[in-house]
Homo-oligomer: A and B are copies of this chain.
Amino acid sequence: MPSENKSTQPGIMTTNSYGKSRVRLTKIVREGDIHNIKELTIDIQIQGEFDRAFLSGDNSQIVATDSMKNTVYVLAAKNEFESIEEFGSILAEHFIRTYKHVSGVTIEIEEDLWQRVVLDGKAHPHAFFGAGGEKRWCQVATDRTRATVSSGIRDLRVVKTTASEFWGFIRDEYTTLPEVRDRIFGATIASTWVFDKADHDFNLCYEKIRSAIIEVFATHHSLSVQQTLYEAAQRALDRCNTVKSISLIMPNQHRVPFNLEPFKLENTNQIFITTDEPYGLISATISRK
C-alpha cells in the first residue's frame, strides 16, 4: 500500500474555508461603579486564495487561526460596542480590509446572557446571575462588496398548558395519533432575522422580536405549531421594520399523556410523560412583502 507517496489527483478543490471556532471572550466595561459584563463565544471563518496551502503546504497566504484568536481580544480591547452585531462587524471588516487575498469573512457570535442581581429592589452594580439557557446570536457575513447582518435567539424555552389543539390531519394506515382539542405545547425556539437597512438598533430589535414571539406563543389559540410559528413571524416583522425576513424553528417537544386506565384512574389531561425525543420539527421563513 502506498503511504508517503501522493495519491493520483482525481479531484479539484471547489470550495474551502478555515478559521477559529469558540474563541471565548469576557469583557468588562465600567461606568464608574456600575459594571457591565459581556461574555461572547466567537467563530471566525474566512474564504479566499488559500489554494497553495491545500495543494502544496505553502502557508504564505495563511493567517494562522491563532492570530485570529488574538485579533478577537485585541479588537475587543480597542473598540467600544453596544451589541454583538457591532462587534461582529468590527471583526469582519478587520479581516477583509487587512488581508487582500481574503474574499469572504463570516463571523458568528453567541452571547451568554447575564441578569443583574437585585437586592432590596435595587440593581446591584457588579453582581450578576445566569439569565437562563437562552442565548443571543448573530452572524456577520462580508465579501468585498457588501455585508449581511443576521441576528437571532437560541434556546428560548417555552411551554403552554392549554389553548393548543391538533386535529383534522391526514388519517391513513400509518396514523395512530388521536385528534386532540387541548394539549400541552412546548418548544425550544430558535429564530434568525435578516436586516435590510444599514441603520438599525440591534438591541431594540432583539427586545421587540423576543417579546413578539413570546406574546404570540402565549396568546395565540394554536391549531398547529405551523400556525403559531407563522403568526409569531408576522408579529415580529410587524414590530421591527428594519428586518426583511425572519426564520423560526420550533421543535414540538411532546408531553405524552400517561395511560392511567390500567390503574383504574382517569387522566384528566393532567399527568404526562415529558419526552425529549422524538420531536416534531417545524420551520419557515417569512419575508417582508
Contacts and interface: CB of A to CB of B under 8 A. Distances in A.
Contacts of A3: 119, 215, 218-219
Interface of A: 1, 3-4, 6-30, 35, 37, 39, 41, 43, 45, 50, 53-71, 73-74, 76-78, 98-99, 114, 117, 119-120, 124, 126-134, 156-163, 166-170, 172-177, 184, 188, 214-227, 229-231, 233-235, 237-238, 245-246, 251-252, 255, 258, 260, 262-263, 265, 267, 269-289
Nearest to A16: B284
A157 B129 contact: yes
Contact of A169 (B14, B60, B216): B60
A41 B277 CA distance: 10
A77 B7 contact: no
Determine how many copies of this chain the complex contains: 4
Contacts of A224: 53, 57, 59, 62
Given A22-B277, A219-B119, A64 B177 contact: yes
21 contacts: A3-B218, A3-B219, A13-B285, A13-B287, A18-B225, A18-B226, A24-B277, A45-B281, A53-B227, A56-B223, A56-B227, A57-B226, A59-B168, A59-B223, A65-B252, A69-B278, A119-B215, A124-B219, A127-B160, A130-B156, A276-B276
A66 B160 contact: no
A215 B233 CA distance: 40
Contact of A13 (B17, B73, B219, B284): B284
A220 B218 CA distance: 39
A125 B18 CA distance: 29
Contacts of A126: 160-163
Contacts of A43: 281
Given A11-B237, A130-B133, A270 B29 contact: yes
B73 A273 contact: yes
Given A1-B119, A10-B238, A245-B14, A273 B67 contact: no
A31 to B, nearest CB: 12
Contacts of A23: 277-278
A64 B175 contact: yes
Given A129-B158, A158-B127, A215-B1, A174 B70 contact: yes
Contact of A221 (B4, B30, B263): B4
A57 B225 CA distance: 9
A285 B279 CA distance: 32
A158 B174 contact: no
